[in-house]
Amino acid sequence: MTRSVPPYRDNRCSDQPVRHSRRFSDEIVEEACRVFQKRTDRQLTHEDGRQILENLVGFFSTLHEWDHASAKTGHEDGPAISKIPGSDD
């Protein structure tokens, strides 16, 4: 019994991408691929570029939330972090 395998779709940045998110234009996703391609030997896909951008937005959104929370509480060092019980710090 042979299992049917769908044809492989080469989805590198130069190919016409399948749109998964309307958040980022194709041009900005392609630019992310060009920038981050320098850091890997693996060929980045359009989906890789989109995920890179999603992760960057999430990272900077978290930093912004922390900054906003510290401004509300008056802590310039960021939100208070409790000491871990049993730690020597």
Q: Does the global pTM surpass 0.85?
A: no
Residue-wise pLDDT tens for the chain (89 aa)? Answer: 555 545 545 555 555 555 555 689 999 999 999 999 999 999 999 999 999 999 999 999 999 999 988 888 876 665 555 566 666 65
What pLDDT does 65 receive? Answer: 93
What pLDDT does 23 receive? Answer: 84
What pLDDT does 49 receive? Answer: 97
What pLDDT does 8 receive? Answer: 47
> DSSP letters along the chain, please?
-PPP-PPP---BTTS-PPP--SSS-HHHHHHHHHHHHTT-SSPPBHHHHHHHHHHHHHHHHHHHHHHHHHHHHT-TT-S--PPPTT---
9-15 contact pairs (CB < 8 A, 24+):
11/45, 11/46, 11/47, 12/43, 12/44, 12/45, 12/46, 13/37, 13/44, 13/45, 13/46, 13/49, 15/46
